Amino acid sequence: MVDAWEGELRRLTDFEQIRQVKARYLRGLDCRDENLLRSAFAEDIEVDFRGAATDPVSGTNHVPGATEEVLRGRDAAVAAFLTATASFTVVHHVSSPEMKLEGPDEASAIWPMVDRLRLGGAGATELVGYGYYFDRYVRVGDEWLIASMRIERLRVDVSRPSATDNARHRSR
């Protein structure tokens, strides 16, 4: 009985550590924090965000330069994220992941997500995207890191905020 409880405690601890590394990635991305992003990624991470800013209904890619190729390696992923978000504001929310341990040092998760991107300054376009992150994680030493990420979009809403909204955004 003790072994079963220890195994369950280990599984729950692993899942919590995976939640924490995902949160660190999201905060690093939203705050453009290079160190946080680096701390969340495996050295050989693979990021496939092709189509991440594409409306699945219209086929319009609203951020083409940042979403056209698979990124390989921590340095490439961090540089691409920091470059892509330099000219706009992003806010990400994930919830209720489906997580699975694939082995003692590997896991996967599917995260429902909503993100909001405000592109440009005055007269900005705002995108609100809905979909899923499909992630793979590896344990390196005592910590879980993101080994791969892919976004699948369900919907992208596009709007042009009012002058009042733009003024409020610039004042922050």
Query: pTM (2 decimals)?
Result: 0.87
pLDDT per position as a tens digit, 110-125? 999 999 988 776 566 8
Residue with tokens 């909503």: 114
Q: What is the mean pLDDT of residues 90-110?
A: 96
The CATH number covering residue 102 comes to: 3.10.450.50
Main-chain phi, psi angles of 46, to 5 degrees:
-125, 125
How many angstroms separate the CA atoms of 59 and 155, rounded? 11
pLDDT of residue 144: 98
Task: Report the chain's mean pLDDT, rounded to a whole number.
Answer: 88
Q: Which residues pair with 138 in a beta bridge?
A: 106, 145
Q: How many domains, in total, are found in the chain?
A: 1
The three-class DSSP label of residue 45 is strand
pLDDT of residue 148: 98
| Inter-residue contact 73 to 44 (CB < 8 Å) | yes
- Residue 64: which domain range? 2-170
